[in-house]
Amino acid sequence: MTTDEKKTELEKIAQEIKTFKGLDIAKNATHAVPGEGNPDAEIMFIGEAPGYNEDQQGRPFVGQAGMLLEKILQEVLGLKREDVYITNIVKYRPPDNRDPFDAEIAACAGWLDRQIKIISPKIIVTLGRFSMVKFIPGVTISQIHGVARYYHELIIFPMYHPAAALRGTTMMNAFRDDFAKLKNLLAPQAKIEDNTPSQTSLF
């Protein structure tokens, strides 16, 4: 797919997300938050769900957690947010920032799968546990953060959520250290464990 074709397809998905009214959180959203960034990105970040600021602006990771993500992205990888693609598991803000319900994750899953397929990134970075379990179920984030593994043709790199990193020095250090490992993964000779479950298909 050319970059223009990718842009067109991503815009179609964004329109579907913006006009969808099949969830209460969709009906009540100030703005849906489909995701944004470079359609040819090597790295795709997947967070949990929009918060207050994201709902106000219709853009992912624009609050405090987003500022941290942008700062470390620039400091460690020398990348700007426009260089990567940023989205969430759930495309609408859950009230009072509660955890997303399974039904909300399921309703948004088709859009996320299509976004992944179109962008076809080299690495998917999951931010927090909700996006991690989509690819790596049955583990805790404290056990596996910062360790890349293949899931089908995708490299999944689980990280703590930047909001967790903002809560204390230990988590902040872990968040930074994991970013540094992400840098090594972008090297062509990176060695990665294969975690693909047998006989299943991602899409």
Measured from the CB atom, the residue of 1 and 172 that comes closer to ligand URA is 172
Give the per-residue contact string, 65-84, with ligand URA (x = CB under 6 A; - = no).
xx------------------
Q: Which of residues 21-60 bind ligand URA (CB under 6 A)?
A: 47-51, 54, 60
Question: Which token pair is 172?
Answer: 């902040």
Q: Which is nearer to ligand URA, 97 or 173 (CB)?
A: 97
Distance CA 104, CA 127 (A): 18
Shortest spacing between CB 89 and ligand URA, in angstroms: 8
The verdict on 115 binding ligand URA (CB under 6 A) reads no
151 DSSP β-pair partners: 154
Identify the helix (H) or strand (E) that includes residue 157. Answer: strand 154-159
Minimum CB separation of residue 61 from ligand URA in Å reads 4
Q: What are phi and psi of 170, to 5 degrees?
A: -60, -45
The Cα-based distances of 149 to 30, 77, 154, 155, 178 in angstroms read 37, 20, 8, 6, 14
Residues that bind ligand URA (CB under 6 A): 47-51, 54, 60-61, 63, 65-66, 88
